[in-house]
Amino acid sequence: MTVPKKLYLFVWSEFAPDYSSGLAFAIATDEAKARKLIIKKQGYEPTTWGHVQRFPTNRSIAFSRHGGG
């Protein structure tokens, strides 16, 4: 029997900043796979990823980020 791999929520703050910082997230087994998912979704690799945080997917979690100045 194969043991399923653990999934994590990866959250990048300060992602691809332009006028203001963006936010990106992906659920994957590791950060490299999470980045590949984001690149595939966007169609290109961002020049700046920003700060990343990793969270297990077996508990509740919430994020809030204000935009603008």
State pLDDT tens for residues 3-53.
678 999 999 988 888 877 888 999 999 999 999 999 999 999 999 999 999
Give the predicted TM-score (pTM) of the model: 0.84
Distance of alpha carbon 61 from alpha carbon 49, whole angstroms: 21
Q: Name which of 41, 45, 17, 47 is nearest 28 in CA terms.
A: 41
